Amino acid sequence: MIIIDKDKKIFHLRTKKMSYVFRILKNGSLGHLYYGDTLSEDENFDYLANVENKAAGTIKYYENDSKFSLGAETSEFNIYGTGDFRQPAIELRISNRLFYPEFAYVDHEITYRKERIPEVPRVYGDEYENLTITLKDKNLNLYLKLNYSITDESSAIVRSSSLINTSQHTYTISRFMSGTLDIPSADLDFISLSGAWLRERHLVRQPLRMGIQSVGSVRGASSHQQNPFIMLAEKNANEFSGTVYAASLVYSGNFLAQTEVDEWNVSRILIGINPMNFAWQLKPGDEFKTPECIFAVTQKGFNEISHTFHNIINDNIVEQRYKNFQRPIVVNSWEANYFNFDENSLLKLADLTTKIGADTLIVDDGWFGERDSTKKSLGDWFEDKRKFPHGIGKFAEHIHEKGLKLGLWFEPEMVDPDSDLYRAHPEWSIGKIDQRRSFGRGQLVLDMANPEVIDYLIASIDSMIERTKLDYIKWDMNRNITEAFSNYLDNEHQGELLHRYIMGVYKLMSHICEKYPDIIIENCAGGGGRFDLGMLYYSPQIWTSDDSDGVERLMIQYGTSMCYPLSSLSNHVTAVPNHQIDRVVPLNFRNNVSTFGVLGYELDLSELSEDELNEIKDQVSEYRKRQKLIFSGTFSRLKSPFCGNETAWQVVSKNKEEVLVGWYKVLAKPNQRNQSYLKLVGLEKDYYYSVSNDDTIHSGAALMNMGIRLPYDFNGANQETAQISGDFQSELFTLRKVNKKVI
């Protein structure tokens, strides 16, 4: 509900889970008032709005009004140059000169519903109520629109901004954030999902301090190193309680997510496209729209923030056709064979895929051009005749005859200098052709801002899809953009390249999604280097990390789940010793970790014993029964791998009838009490639940206050005197509500 007090010029965006309040300030700009738990419809905000600003040392806006300084006001979209010296939300130039727009309220509009637009990732849904505030520069014909969208069941607010040029001049936008949020406290921690290739999205928590703390990417992709999702949390906030604010960007390119704490302990979040190397020419008649950002707030800790994001992603970002769609259980050829395969070895892998009960064979890197290593053929999207002497169409027929689905790996955005494509079109690659360029994996990046490149990729991928009746695409992207220069754009437009690049990627992905609705795209960027809401708009699942070691995955999946739902985490059981870290973790531990996401396999199944194949077969069949619960239930984290030797998490179905709990203990510890319990959350306290591995039933209240009993085994050699359990213990518990109420 959007409540507007015209006299007081206050806008109150109100849902069952939050209130968001702002007002029009004296100079016509917007001042933020409140974001937090729902307040009453007729709440009187005078005490927030009519504060006499006595902050000393500020620059006043009007000569004769000593009480009005933008430096001391909270804001909805701050502009540099007026006495608010914090980093601006927008920066505009004319003929290379910075100028200081004065955007003032003109009018507002309320609309309903947010449409899905194929080529632009955004939150969509019939349930949205939208408020657009239009502001106009006092001197120039420039309009700024601030968009806000809410739904009744969520604490989230979706924001975006756009700039419209109705003047005769061209302006350069050198910075344009999607949204800002002022929080009247700095006694908070700044939390990010940070890491590296093979250890993406680890949880990093550090205290806020005066000044700027930020995460971002200037790599042309959202990146392995930082994720476009941050939280500000009260010092005592944990998974279950405490105030937490979160911000995320619906975008896959360069981003900035920062907090600036001013001298009065106001924390301002800014989130949007990274201004580094961004310069957009806004010509007369043009409009530039930022990507959307999502803010969320709760008093109930990190799990509640995750539930908010998981719901939005599942219901309002991912294409709805995937929602009730049984996701494929794949066997992927990469860690099974790397580049060393041909149609015969793949057909054998296909037979074993059938044997374990999986349903899709993914032929990863190496099937095209003359690709025997990472140094050749990217861009040549036709089959390698040495590996497929009977043609890839015939191979696909064999796979389909076996009752399997087929997936192929593509890395559409890349080109190898040793490829037919590069020989024909060197100017399609990013960077000046006659100058030194940096290489990653020996490859260059294609200029996705060039429509001819997109047309070429559409034609070659379409042809392969049609020849193979393809069911699945693994879309990889293995290097970041350096020496950013487009041979297609003129000098004036070079600052647009990195945004145009990602819009080109979206165009190509939307083409595939629209033309081939039965194909599922799994996203990947050297593992989880582009795990973001922009990619999830087109591909409902993302390869979480190239590191598939069971222990490392506990941290990666735990951190990733802060923002992203289990339905988006692609997790494969791989071989031991693990190819990334050489660790040997038992098969059931690897399965029990991978189960919390989209399960798949990526190992040479022919090297496994009959017993191991049977164990996997059982795991696949168990997972099939659980997939609906895992994807549609409410996921909560119970014990953090960043805090100790044990990790635990759970999923509860929306009707609270079914529960799946995963518990993991990495290293054995001697002499531990064998009566240890794990407290669950979100059950019906007045009903009984049956617990697998236990003959008794327990009330929801007991399971939430005392917990399920953990299997601390005595299986060491000297079990008479000490408790030494083996390393890598884990257990999955299934709970079911029984039709019996506690009396």
Q: Is 269 helix (H, G, I), strand (E, B) or coil?
A: strand
**CA nearest to 682, candidates 721, 714, 635:** 635
- Inter-CA distances, 311 with 153, 335, 353, Å: 10, 33, 33
> Do 689 and 683 form a contact (C-beta atoms < 8 A)?
yes
Angle formed by the axes of helices 587-594 and 610-632, nearest 10°: 20
* Spatial separation of the C-alpha atoms in residues 364 and 410, rounded to whole Å: 8
* Spatial separation of the C-alpha atoms in residues 554 and 548, rounded to whole Å: 10
Nearer to ligand DGJ, 173 or 363 (CB): 363
Q: Shortest distance, CB of residue 541 to ligand DGJ, whole angstroms?
A: 13
Nearer to ligand DGJ, 131 or 473 (CB): 473
Going by C-beta distance under 8 Å and a sequence separation of 6 or more, which residues neighbour residue 310? 564, 565, 566, 634, 635
Nearer to ligand DGJ, 505 or 708 (CB): 505
Q: Shortest distance, CB of residue 441 to ligand DGJ, whole angstroms?
A: 8
Q: Shortest distance, CB of residue 513 to ligand DGJ, whole angstroms?
A: 21
Looking at residue 45, what DSSP letter applies? -
Q: Shortest distance, CB of residue 341 to ligand DGJ, whole angstroms?
A: 13
* Spatial separation of the C-alpha atoms in residues 32 and 11, rounded to whole Å: 10
Q: Is 527 in the site for ligand DGJ (CB under 6 A)?
A: yes
Query: What's the token pair of residue 302?
Result: 């990190």
Of 129-137, 523-531, 620-628, 658-666, the window that binds ligand DGJ (rule: CB under 6 A) is 523-531
Give the count of residues interacting with ligand DGJ (CB under 6 A): 11
Nearer to ligand DGJ, 332 or 650 (CB): 332
Q: Residue 139 phi/psi, 5° resolution?
A: -115, -30
Q: Shortest distance, CB of residue 697 to ligand DGJ, whole angstroms?
A: 44
Residue with tokens 């969320």: 296
* Spatial separation of the C-alpha atoms in residues 507 and 415, rounded to whole Å: 19
Q: Is 381 in the site for ligand DGJ (CB under 6 A)?
A: no
Binding string, 443-482, against ligand DGJ, x = CB under 6 A? Answer: ---------------------------------x-x----
Choosing from 384, 447, 546, 547, which is the catalytic residue? 546
Q: Is 275 in the site for ligand DGJ (CB under 6 A)?
A: no
Q: Shortest distance, CB of residue 407 to ligand DGJ, whole angstroms?
A: 11
Choice from 543, 601, 663, 728 touching ligand DGJ (CB under 6 A): 543
Q: Shortest distance, CB of residue 570 to ligand DGJ, whole angstroms?
A: 10
Bridge partners (DSSP) listed for residue 111: 130
Bridge partners (DSSP) listed for residue 31: 23
Q: How many CB atoms lie within 10 A of CB 6?
A: 6
Q: Is 80 in the site for ligand DGJ (CB under 6 A)?
A: no
> Do 609 and 595 form a contact (C-beta atoms < 8 A)?
no
* Spatial separation of the C-alpha atoms in residues 200 and 525, rounded to whole Å: 11
Residues making up the annotated binding site for substrate are 197, 364-365, 441, 474-478, 524, 546
Nearer to ligand DGJ, 306 or 594 (CB): 594
* Surface-to-core class of residue 434, CB atoms within 10 Å of its CB (0-12 exposed, 13-18 middle, 19+ buried): exposed
**Torsion sign, CA atoms 447, 450, 451, 452:** negative
**CA nearest to 425, candidates 476, 391, 460:** 460
Residue with tokens 């079109």: 425
Q: Is 524 in the site for ligand DGJ (CB under 6 A)?
A: yes
* Spatial separation of the C-alpha atoms in residues 180 and 178, rounded to whole Å: 7
Note the Cα 84 to chain centre separation in Å: 32
* Spatial separation of the C-alpha atoms in residues 171 and 495, rounded to whole Å: 13
Q: Shortest distance, CB of residue 595 to ligand DGJ, whole angstroms?
A: 20
416 assigned to active site: no
Choice from 45, 128, 295, 334 touching ligand DGJ (CB under 6 A): 334
Of 14-22, 520-528, 573-581, 701-709, the window that binds ligand DGJ (rule: CB under 6 A) is 520-528
37 assigned to active site: no
Nearer to ligand DGJ, 334 or 558 (CB): 334
Going by C-beta distance under 8 Å and a sequence separation of 6 or more, which residues neighbour residue 335? 548, 572, 574, 575, 579, 602, 603, 604
Q: Shortest distance, CB of residue 471 to ligand DGJ, whole angstroms?
A: 17
Q: Is 343 helix (H, G, I), strand (E, B) or coil?
A: helix
Of 104-112, 521-529, 590-598, 722-730, the window that binds ligand DGJ (rule: CB under 6 A) is 521-529
Across 262-376, where does the E strand assignment appear? 267-273, 280-282, 287-289, 293-298, 330-332, 360-363
Query: What's the token pair of residue 177?
Result: 């954030």
Residues making up the annotated binding site are 197, 364-365, 441, 474-478, 524, 546
Nearer to ligand DGJ, 360 or 478 (CB): 478
Nearer to ligand DGJ, 526 or 565 (CB): 526
Choosing from 476, 532, 547, 549, which is the catalytic residue? 476
Q: Shortest distance, CB of residue 529 to ligand DGJ, whole angstroms?
A: 8
Nearer to ligand DGJ, 370 or 622 (CB): 370
* Spatial separation of the C-alpha atoms in residues 540 and 208, rounded to whole Å: 34
Q: Is 364 in the site for ligand DGJ (CB under 6 A)?
A: yes
Nearer to ligand DGJ, 309 or 334 (CB): 334
- 3-state SS, one letter per residue, for 459-501: HHHHHHHHHHCCCEEEECCCCCCCCCCCCCCCHHHHHHHHHHH
Q: Is 422 in the site for ligand DGJ (CB under 6 A)?
A: no
Nearer to ligand DGJ, 76 or 547 (CB): 547
Residue nearest to ligand DGJ as judged by C-beta position: 365
Cis amide bond preceding 275, omega within 30: no
Residues 307-326 that bind ligand DGJ (CB under 6 A): none
Q: Is 552 in the site for ligand DGJ (CB under 6 A)?
A: no
Residues 394-413 that bind ligand DGJ (CB under 6 A): 409
> Do 221 and 267 form a contact (C-beta atoms < 8 A)?
no
Mark out the alpha helices in 561-707 (DSSP H runs). Answer: 587-594, 610-632, 700-705
Choice from 384, 546, 684, 731 touching ligand DGJ (CB under 6 A): 546
Of 20-28, 241-249, 454-462, 524-532, the window that binds ligand DGJ (rule: CB under 6 A) is 524-532
Q: Shortest distance, CB of residue 655 to ligand DGJ, whole angstroms?
A: 37
Task: By CB under 6 A, name the binding residues for ligand DGJ.
Answer: 334, 364-365, 409, 476, 478, 524, 526-527, 543, 546
What are the residue numbers of the active site? 476, 546
